[in-house]
Chains A and B, each alone.
Chain A
């Protein structure tokens, strides 16, 4: 215990020093720059307010991003050119085929399912009493890490030999229904869908909450007027409610696609990418930090980036439209 305390104190000291140093430097900068008068005021203010962020973005994202593109045309140690070899490898390797297939499956299934379930719940929550309790509970998994969620579901998907007691919820339900449970994480292609459930479980609350807010923002008089015109049930939803929340629904979908593309923690924790469950983001990590092949790792990152560009373009377009108003 005393050893623990003696190793922990320096850690907290370093936090205190780092945070105080940060604020002292900032205060000094503000004090000095605040004295600048006249013509130089604006450039100095800009440099101090915007400079740190721009520097960090350049050093942390823009330049590394560009270097990753360069690395993707180089050998494992990034000291010799190999042309398109790392990309050619992707088209030839059978494992990469599975990885691409799984990644596409993730972006097709997960966002749609997450958004649709979120919308369904948002609509139903709008018409029940005490909506805040179920809403909190449904939203709660969003605060749990993918690693934490994976461990929670590891216990749900736990499997024992048929002769033993089943302690996993899924195995028990399957057994109760009269079927024979199996080792779920080995069962292709079901295992990929079981991993997707973990993702949906954590992220559904996001869609639900923002769609719920969008539904509440639909003006009552519009709903009232169309109800007087005889719209109800499905027709009311299709013709009035959905068109009004469509923008938000697409935001939820797009967020889901980006998230599903980058899914790493769940696959890493649950299967390590084995048993046919591997995805792009996990393979990028494995190639780089397990196989020590920076070339292939970088090429996989570039593909990941290319896959998000349509969303990037869409986002910029809608922001531009919004700003034009």
Chain B
């Protein structure tokens, strides 16, 4: 507010005059929005028109129906989709909920320990976890998959049993939980470490142990931060392809909607009606989350990148 008032009084603040700025911003916004709009309009077009009438022409010549959504959701015997994408949609929900809750809870606890329990090596540990953030997932995929299917051996001596969770939901929850920890711990540490020291000390003086302090003070105060990071994790898991392709076989039993969608892209012709409707269903969930919780989302972003 203060800034914009200043800009009015003081033309020197302006690098671009605001009229030009307004025009350019709205122009870029238009360019940025049109592709999504195109998919949205296309998803309502009939099988016959999807390939020989551009969507912006269809806008003036409307002949829209919900058939694509019906087919893509519930399947259609004549099309290659079989039972539809509904099972995959369910799988996505089944994968995403635990894969968001588990890492966030575990990371909140770890962040508390790193911020408020003094111990030797705590700094080193924090730096190591921070460093793990940028390590590519690819570094872990093969050995982790082998661990899930065959356990771990030194020579022929088994030191870790085969978990037998490959191709199971647990086999997707677990890698998502592991991979989310470095960034989640780092971001939550930023929130939790900034809580007032006096509050913690007062609680300890009153005889509260770490478990009580965590439940009664840290959790309630860190809720905004936890919410922000949960949204990120939710979107990350929902939008993931690499972990899904590696740890979930492409079957109806466990594969999430994103990997189903990726496999649909190759199909031409009638596949397009399914592709457009399927894609829109898939992106609708994160878009709803995004628009309803945008404030938290932005706060989460800022926590990780801007120094206070």
Contact = CB atoms under 8 A, between A and B. Distances in A.
A178 interface: no
Nearest to A166: B54
A248 B308 CA distance: 11
Contacts of B130: 315-316, 319
Interface string B63-105: 0000000000010000000010011001100100110011001
A15 interface: yes
Chain B, interface size: which category?
35 or more
A127 B29 contact: no
A129 B22 contact: yes
A33 to B, nearest CB: 6
A124 B21 contact: yes
A152 B265 CA distance: 11
Contact of A153 (B35, B117, B129): B35
B143 A264 contact: no
B51 A152 contact: no
B203 interface: no
A220 B3 CA distance: 7
A236 B183 CA distance: 36
B51 A144 contact: no
Interface string A34-75: 100000011001101110111011011111110110010000
A137 B29 CA distance: 7
Given A49-B110, A134-B26, A153-B35, A148 B242 contact: no
Interface in B110-141: 110, 112-114, 117, 119, 125, 127, 129-141
A50 B112 CA distance: 9
B179 A126 contact: no
B134 A315 contact: yes
Given A121-B25, A172-B54, A261-B136, A147 B147 contact: no
Contacts, number: 367
B283 interface: yes
A146 B242 CA distance: 11
Chain A, interface size: which category?
35 or more
B36 interface: yes
B15 interface: yes
B214 interface: yes
Given A26-B105, A148-B282, A68 B140 contact: yes
Interface stretch (A86-94, A106-114, A188-196, A282-290): A282-290
A206 interface: yes
Contacts of B16: 123-124, 127
A174 interface: no
B35 A152 contact: yes
A265 B259 CA distance: 10
Nearest to B50: A167
7 closest A-B pairs by CB: A60-B178, A227-B12, A145-B239, A53-B110, A143-B290, A49-B113, A64-B143
Interface of A: 1, 4, 7-8, 11-12, 14-15, 18-19, 22, 26, 30, 33-34, 41-42, 45-46, 48-50, 52-54, 56-57, 59-65, 67-68, 71, 78, 121, 123-129, 131, 133-134, 136-148, 150-156, 160, 164-169, 172, 201, 204, 206, 209-210, 213-214, 216-217, 220, 223-224, 226-228, 230-234, 236-237, 241, 247-248, 251-252, 255, 258, 261-262, 264-265, 268-270, 281, 284-285, 288-289, 294, 297-298, 300-302, 304-305, 308, 311-312, 315-316, 319-320, 322
Interface of B: 2-4, 6-7, 10-16, 18, 21-22, 24-26, 28-29, 32-36, 38-39, 42, 50-56, 74, 83, 86-87, 90-91, 94, 97-98, 101-102, 105-107, 109-110, 112-114, 117, 119, 125, 127, 129-144, 146-147, 169-170, 173-175, 177-179, 181-182, 185, 209-212, 214-215, 235, 238-242, 245-246, 252-253, 258, 261-262, 265, 275-276, 279, 282-283, 286-287, 289-291, 294, 297-298, 301-302, 305-307
Given A60-B181, A224-B6, A268-B241, 20 more contacts: A30-B211, A52-B106, A57-B178, A65-B139, A126-B7, A127-B14, A127-B16, A129-B22, A150-B265, A152-B279, A153-B35, A154-B265, A156-B38, A236-B13, A248-B306, A268-B262, A289-B245, A302-B139, A304-B136, A304-B139
